[in-house]
Every structure is written in structure tokens, then in C-alpha cells.
Amino acid sequence: MSRTWILVAESSRAKIYSTENRTAIPAEVEDIIHPEGRLHEGELVSDRPGSDPGTVGQGRHVLDDKISATQHEHMEFARELARRLEAACDRGAFDKLVVAAPPAFLGLLRDRLGKEVKEKVVREIDKNLVRQPAESLRDYI
């Protein structure tokens, strides 16, 4: 009998469910909260970007990172989830994996999953299902 795990995630919360078959109600394995994913940019950084007087060219301009602190937190959470899935995969906790997340976060997860975990992914759903009851997840498996 194969065990299917269902990961439903967004930038600040994720849940992992397990099910033995498509008709059973998935059982919650873990509820993972990442409160930093809900913070606004100003709450994550304490300083404004630096500036350059622009001695050559267009004049004064802001020196800014290519990714925001908020995006960085989303990437960190995706990395944390990938590590958890890889550890579970190594110990044989699941045979198949279904991943559901909003499109942008799904892309972050996909980029961070290791080869072994990616091979177990049987379905990706680009939808936020974190707040859905476990019973409704059966429709997506």
C-alpha cells in the first residue's frame, strides 16, 4: 500500500497531510507556521536603502537589492519545507507527493526540491489550499 503525502503551502503557513488511498480523509501530519512570511517589508528591514550621489550618468539613485526582504523570507520558507520533505523522503515516510501552493510559491518550492523528492511528485496544484478542510483535499488528489 502506498502512502501519499499532500503538502499545501503558502508563504507563511504549510500543512502536510498523509493518506493511504484516494477515498480516505487525509490525516494531518504537521502544521508549519512561518510568521516572518506575513511581515511587510518595513517590518523585516530596519534601514532604508543607501544612495549614490551619481557623479556620472543620471544623477542620484538608490542602491537596492534585487530581491526584497519579503521575497527572501518566502524563499527561506520554501527552503525549509524542501528540507523537511527531503528528510521525510530519506526515512521513507511517503511514496507519492502532491504539492499545492499559489503559483509564485509553487515555483519557489519546485526550485528547491531535491531530485529524490521531485521524483515522488505525482501532482502539482497551483492553488492556495492551506485553509481548506482535509475532506476537500480528496478532490485534488
Alpha-carbon distance of 93 to 85, in angstroms, equals 9
Q: Could you report the per-residue pLDDT of 5-32, keeping only the tens digit for each?
A: 999 999 989 999 999 888 889 999 999 9
As for how many domains the chain has, the answer is 1
Q: Which residues of 75-110 are buried (b: 16+ CB within 10 A; e: fewer)?
A: bebbeebbebbeebbeeeebeebbbbbbeebbebbe
**% of the chain surpassing 90 pLDDT:** 59
Q: What is the CATH number of the domain that holds 125?
A: 3.30.420.60
Residue 135 lies in a domain: yes
The single-letter code of the amino acid at 46 is: S
Q: Could you report the per-residue pLDDT of 38-77, keeping only the tens digit for each?
A: 544 444 444 555 444 544 455 554 445 576 777 878 889 9
Residue 89 lies in a domain: yes
Residue 139 reports pLDDT greater than 60: yes
Record the pTM: 0.78
Residue 54 lies in a domain: no
Residue 55 lies in a domain: no
Residue 86 belongs to domain spanning: 4-39+66-140
Name the residue with cell 493511504: 20
